[in-house]
Homo-oligomer: A and B are copies of this chain.
Amino acid sequence: MLVKFASEVPLEPAQEGIGIRWLIAAKDGAPNFAMRVIEVEPGVTFAPHAHPWEHEIYALEGEGLLLGLDGERPLVPGQAIFVPPDELHGYRNTGEKTLKFICVIPHTK
């Protein structure tokens, strides 16, 4: 059993104002999928994009918007979000603190 605090896992820069913590990854022995935390700084937009793998998301902290085929929808703690493969999705932090959410992806990405 591997136990770690998310806050102790390095925040790897992805884009300006956006970072990823790889909590549980292939290098930890995870056979099928990886659990990450995505962090988006206030005012920053993770522009809508699509790819052939799914996301299973759980919103932890902060406030923002989900950007998708249906336009903008609120993104707040306690939400679970499923983004199917190949569907457009993005995020915008509209709050004053860091927007943080869990995002699980298959290793096949």
Task: Please list the residues of chain A having a beta carbon within 8 angstroms of any beta carbon in chain B.
Answer: 1-7, 9, 23-24, 28-33, 35, 54, 56, 58, 66, 68-70, 73, 78-85, 87, 89, 102, 104, 106, 108
A59 to chain B, nearest CB (A): 9
Q: A58-B6, A66-B3, A69-B1 are in contact. Are A35 and B84 (CB under 8 A)?
A: no
The secondary structure that dominates the A interface is strand
Copies of this chain per assembly: 2
Contacts of A7 in B (CB 8 A): 78
Most buried by B among A9, A79, A104: A104
A106 to chain B, nearest CB (A): 5
Contact B54–A31 (Cβ < 8 Å): yes
Q: In the bound complex, how far is the Cα of B79 from the Cα of A2, in angstroms?
A: 10
Contact A82–B2 (Cβ < 8 Å): yes
A96 to chain B, nearest CB (A): 21
